[in-house]
């Protein structure tokens, strides 16, 4: 079983992204907003994925499989009304950790969130983010992509 341990933050100010990798992402949810499990389709540049995420906030089960563009397009219409579009920047922090910074597009603009993954819960709990990170929204379910896909930017 694959477990994801991550914290999520608002972005107080954009860092220098010149060294980061950029991907255009569109994702849609096949499960209802009130379902604790997420089943998501994602296109990241020219790759396609089906992802299952369990309930939880900082720690949760995650399973992902790459699928063909044809498989993606078969199920994509079922995500209508439950979609997110964003640009994702992946870079390295001075402490060696990897960050994923999402700049949301469309109805979720100008929202920006950054995530950092960890090996253990203790490491995640002890983490001190850099100055450009804003408020910690890890436990705030309003900032889950699945919730925002149907409810919009949190008020």
**Is 29 in the active site?**
yes
Percent of the chain scoring above 70 in pLDDT: 99
Q: 3-151 is classed in which CATH architecture?
A: Beta Barrel (2.40)
pLDDT at 46: 97
Helix (H) or strand (E) holding 100: strand 98-104
Q: b/e map of 12-34 (b: 16 or more CB within 10 Å)? A: eeebeeeebeebebbbbbbbeee
Q: Which residue has the higher pLDDT, 60 or 84?
A: 84
pLDDT at 17: 96
Of 29, 89, 99, 143, the catalytic one is 29
- Number of neighbouring beta carbons within 10 Å of residue 116: 21
Measured distance CA(75)–CA(94) in Å, rounded: 40
Chain centroid to Cα 16, Å, comes to 20
């Amino acid at each position: 079983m694959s477990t994801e341990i991550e914290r999520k933050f608002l972005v107080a100010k954009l860092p220098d992204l010149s060294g980061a990798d950029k991907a255009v992402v569109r994702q849609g949810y096949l499960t209802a907003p009130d379902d604790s499990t997420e089943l998501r389709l994602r296109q990241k540049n020219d790759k396609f994925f089906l992802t299952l995420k369990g309930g939880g906030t900082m720690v949760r089960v995650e399973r992902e499989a790459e699928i063909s563009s044809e498989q993606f397009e078969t199920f994509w219409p079922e995500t209508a009304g439950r979609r997110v579009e964003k640009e994702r920047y992946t870079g390295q922090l001075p402490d060696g950790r990897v960050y994923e910074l999402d700049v949301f597009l469309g109805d979720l603009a100008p929202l920006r969130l950054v995530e950092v993954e960890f090996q253990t819960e203790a490491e995640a709990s002890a983490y001190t983010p850099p100055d450009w990170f804003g408020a910690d929204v890890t436990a705030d379910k309003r900032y889950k992509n699945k919730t925002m896909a149907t409810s919009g930017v949190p008020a």
